[in-house]
Amino acid sequence: MPLGAISWNLVWAHDISLMTGWYRDGLGLKVLSTTEQSAVFDTGPCILVLIGRHDNGPSGNPDRTGWERNQVLFTFKVDDMDAELAELAERGVEPIHVAPVVIDGMDAPRWRVAQLMDPEGNIVELCDEPVRWHPHIYA
């Protein structure tokens, strides 16, 4: 079962205003949404998200791995999370974390994500909902 398209790319930003201006004005990307802590851009079949929340992002220390290091995160859409995880396990790839995602202000999980760590400590996600853009996700 091949992975689906990349659903979204996420970049942690220390200065949301500066970064938003660069991607909007410098690259000419269309802004879908902004808050004090995020900016969401239309990039065609997937979205680009700048996020200023650092409680789940990188520390900036290159000696760290995973969530403590990543500046960029990309997420692949999967149709069947359980089947995909089983297939990956057969190839020796085990997730470091699988969890339902509950968006602030909503009662029930909307989907699940699984985080995988590549050999250099970067996090790659799988998601079983084809997230295009939702105004409450990155607020």
pLDDT at residue 138 tops 50: no
**Residues 118, 138, 59, 120, Cα dihedral to 10°:** 10
pLDDT of residue 52: 79
pLDDT of residue 62: 54
pLDDT of residue 15: 83
DSSP H helical segments within the chain, as ranges?
A: 16-21, 81-90
Summarize the confidence of residues 14-40 as an average pLDDT. Answer: 89
Q: How confident is the model at residue 30 (pLDDT cuts 50, 70, 90)?
A: very high
pLDDT of residue 39: 92
pLDDT at residue 68 tops 50: yes
Summarize the confidence of residues 43-49 as an average pLDDT. Answer: 84
Whole-angstrom distance, CA of residue 2 vs CA of residue 111: 19
**Domains of the chain with bracketed CATH:** 6-127 (3.10.180.10)
- pLDDT by residue (tens digit) across 74-100? 888 888 999 999 999 998 999 988 988
pLDDT at residue 29 tops 50: yes
pLDDT of residue 64: 65
Report pTM: 0.66
Whole-angstrom distance, CA of residue 136 vs CA of residue 103: 7
